Amino acid sequence: MKVLVIICALAVCVNAQVGSSGIVSPDGKNVQFSHDFANSIVLVGPSGIVSANGENLQFTAGQAGLNAGNLPVNPYPYTLYKRIVGPSGIVHPTGRNIQFTQAQADNHVLVGPSGIVSRDGKNIQFD
């Protein structure tokens, strides 16, 4: 049981480089917060710290990488093989991009998995 507690404590500490009084950087350097900054922290996220007084802190790539933890599993595995359609264009899995003009974007009524329904009746069917 003691071994399990120690392993759990080590697992928690691996990503715990941001604390209430400072940051331990990946290279081992410590960044100490001022008393005022530490008391004004509103939110600590994966890429930085938001403070109440507007003095936000952006993490370096190394700090953010440790703070973010493991990347989440893609909940939509079909996006690896299908195109991604957004309000301003289409990104194909081959890397080819199609950018919509403002007129085209304004003409879209509904974007679905099989195509785009347009106001003018000229629908786009995905293959």
The band of 6, judged by pLDDT with boundaries at 50, 70 and 90, is very low
The whole domain housing 24 covers 2-68
Q: What percent of the chain has pLDDT over 70?
A: 75
Tokens read off for 29 = 């350097």
| Boundary residue ending a domain (49, 68, 87) | 68
Give yes or no for residue 51 having a pLDDT over 60: yes
Higher-confidence residue: 113 or 121?
121
pLDDT digits (tens, 9 = 90+) for 53-112: 888 888 887 777 776 665 555 555 555 567 888 888 888 878 889 899 999 999 999 888
Domain count, the chain: 2
pLDDT of residue 12: 41
Q: Clarify whether residues 22 and 47 are in a common domain.
A: yes
Tokens read off for 71 = 């990347």
pTM over 0.75: no
pLDDT of residue 99: 93
Q: Clarify whether residues 10 and 55 are in a common domain.
A: yes
Given a contact cutoff of 8 angstroms between Cβ atoms, the answer to whether 91 and 84 are in contact is yes
